[in-house]
Amino acid sequence: MLRSLVGSEMCIRDRVSTQSTGGVRIAWMEEWQYPDWEGESPRKPTQLWKTNDAKAQKEGGRKTIYSSVKAMGRPKDQYTGEWHGNKKEGMGTQIFKNQDRYVGTWANGKRDGQGEYYKMVNGQLFKSYSGEWKDGARHGRGMLFGKDGELYDGAWVNGRRHGEGKQTYANGDVYEGRWCDHQRHGWGRVTMNSGDIFEGHFLEDKKEGSGTYYYMSKQKRMDGEWVADSCTCGVLSHFELDANADPSTCPPRYGQDTSKRLPQLGLKDAHGLLQGCLVRVKQERGAVRLLKTPVEEIFVPEDLDQLVACFNTIAEHDRRSGGYITVQSVQDAVDQLGIEVSQEHVDSAVGALGVKDGVDMESFCRIIALCVSE
């Protein structure tokens, strides 16, 4: 079959070729382009599978695309939305095999940008997360909805709670403060469902460091040092509620029964005894707390930049490779930073942090932090 384009410089011939292979007759179609009238050499034929494959490439707005499965009748993933370069890009909706679904923006084939994730529970869809995404994980600002009224509203990094955030628990407790790698870490405030309040520091999801616990019904407060959720050293004192507060919102007074009142006790040099106890606890737990805290959480960016510059200067002077300096050089770095710390304190900090041979950048920062805190 031959088609001629009158007045054109090109003729196209569609030829159906056949070939016999083992008694089976195979047919295919080739597209030939004739040379132009000036004697141009003919181009190679375009294979039909390439033409069909180009048509199958996903680009721009598309209807629903189903994933392939081996067994017929099994649930399939479904995606309806925009594509670019054969990857999900732009606005789209993904329905997963378990009927969970994501509605939001995509980039490079992954959830990226603003979007909402819904979970299928007993035949009903419930919103699980609403917020920002990056590379397929929760990243940025977002809200996570849990069971029995649980809710987290705050910052996310690589799918984990990290930064400032507020968590409401199923029992009614509310935590507001810092998070690190999905755990309460840093300064925070917990308001219990009983009305009691704790304000202080957390480490790996437990009270650790300086903090104050307010026993609202007793009008007592405990100020002290906390270790693994327990106050190991502190002062219990009385405080008054706001006189202008609505009485109906205040918890019932404790101590109206004289048999339950705390006895009056006195200590000689109570202030000195307390200070000594606090110093001892801080010394014992200081290295543990620093080892479990990221360097970025210990120093502000300006101070951290100064420490890095000092470390690099010492490392270049020591001519040591691999990003290490000697333990003896730490004292020189302390002097360069203008910190008045004795060699004894430096050696004590090095031993407490378990540093033996070379000192890397993170260990150096923790040594400085421990020296300053003491």
Over the chain (374 residues), what is each successive 10-residue block's mean pLDDT?
39 42 43 48 68 70 67 80 90 93 95 96 94 96 94 96 96 95 94 94 93 92 91 86 60 51 63 74 80 86 90 80 80 85 83 84 88 76
Dihedral of the alpha carbons of 336, 342, 348, 354, in degrees to the nearest 10: 10
Per-residue pLDDT at 263: 60
- Identify the CA nearest to 136 among candidates 99, 98, 107: 107
SS3 per residue for the chain: CEECCCCCCCCEEEEEEEEEECCEEEEEEEEEECCCCCCCCCEEEEEHHHHHHHHHCCCEECCCEECCCCCCCCCCCEEEEEEECCEEEEEEEEECCCCCEEEEEEECCEEEEEEEEEEEECCEEEEEEEEEEECCEEEEEEEEECHHHCEEEEEEECCEEEEEEEEECCCCCEEEEEEECCEEEEEEEEECCCCCEEEEEEECCEEEEEEEEEECCCCEEEEEEEECCEEEEEEEEECCCCCCCCHHHCCCCCCCCHHHCCCCCCCCCHHHHHHHHHHHHHHHHHHHHHHCCCHHHHCCHHHHHHHHHHHHHHHHHHCCCCCCEECCHHHHHHHHHCCCCCHHHHHHHHHHCCCCCEECHHHHHHHHHHHHHC
* 196-200 contacts, C-beta under 8 A, 24 or more apart: 200/226
- CA distance to 5, 42, 170, 218, per residue, from 38 (Å): 16, 12, 82, 103
Q: What is the pLDDT of residue 120?
A: 94
The answer to whether residues 96 and 71 touch, using CB atoms and an 8 Å cutoff, is no
Burial 63-85 (b: 16+ CB within 10 A, else e): eebeeeeeeeeeeeebbebbbee
Confidence (pLDDT) at 19? 44
pLDDT at 63: 65
